[in-house]
Amino acid sequence: MSEFESQPDMYVIAHPCIDVKDKACVDVCPVNCIHPVDGEDADQLYIDPTECIMCGACEPECPVEAIFIVEDLPAEWAHFEKINADYFLK
């Protein structure tokens, strides 16, 4: 397992997604890097930082405004960058 490295321009899904999991973002992602696709077995959806091409297509689609680039994350949700990355280390 490699050390977690912050990427300021990476897209991540934050707290508003918890228990919402609308999946509008999944439908528009051109590289299918938002998981789990079925929304099952997870509290929220996550963006795979190794697959995301940072196109930004998902961000305006989220009905609860849960998607941010890392440098725009509200301070109270800064830890969601690591939460997204950690989901894919399982």
Single out the residue of 14, 17, 21, 29 in contact with ligand SF4 (rule: CB under 6 A): 29
* Among candidate residues 31, 32, 36, the one with its CA nearest the CA of residue 84: 36
Choice between 24 and 74, CB closer to ligand SF4: 24
What is d(CA 90, CA 39) in angstroms, rounded to the nearest whole number?
Answer: 16
Site for ligand SF4 in 60-89 (CB under 6 A): none
Q: Which stretch binds ligand SF4 (CB under 6 A): 1-9, 37-45, 52-60, 71-79?
A: 52-60
Q: Which residues bind ligand SF4 (CB under 6 A)?
A: 11, 28-29, 31, 33-34, 47, 52-58
